[in-house]
Amino acid sequence: MGSERRSSERKRILQEAKWESMSHTHEVRVDDVSLGGCFVNTYGKVELGEQVEIQIMLPSGQWLPLRGQVASYQAGVGFGMSFDTLSQKEAASLRELILTSKERKL
């Protein structure tokens, strides 16, 4: 197995999200969320290095828009993305999501 590339601790959750591609909006789930990125479960296709924007549903019912780039891709499974620089508000919302969400069991 390759070396760990993450610089932030991740939490295994499944959270409702949306991702827009050139063709349409995909309803997806995000997993393995950290302050550095997440995994997006989707059948949609992406390219490594592609800039993407997702919106993650917060427990409050509000959407948290986050931008980043595709760091890994598994056809038919999804893609890993690393977040671009987070604003203080985005980081605080993401931190709260990580702290308050139940971790999924493997």
Domain of residue 19, CATH code: 2.40.10.220
Instruction: Look at residue 100 and tell me if it is in a domain.
Output: no
Instruction: Look at residue 94 and tell me if it is in a domain.
Output: no
For residue 28, the SS3 value is strand
pTM over 0.95: no
In the predicted model, residues of the chain with pLDDT beneath 50 are 1-4, 6
The whole-angstrom separation of Cα 93 and Cα 76 is 29
The contacts of residue 68 (CB under 8 Å, 6+ apart) are 37, 51, 52, 53, 54, 81, 82, 83, 84
Instruction: Look at residue 62 and tell me if it is in a domain.
Output: yes
Total number of domains constituting the chain: 1
| pLDDT at site 20 | 83
Instruction: Look at residue 1 and tell me if it is in a domain.
Output: no
The domain in which residue 80 lies consists of 15-87
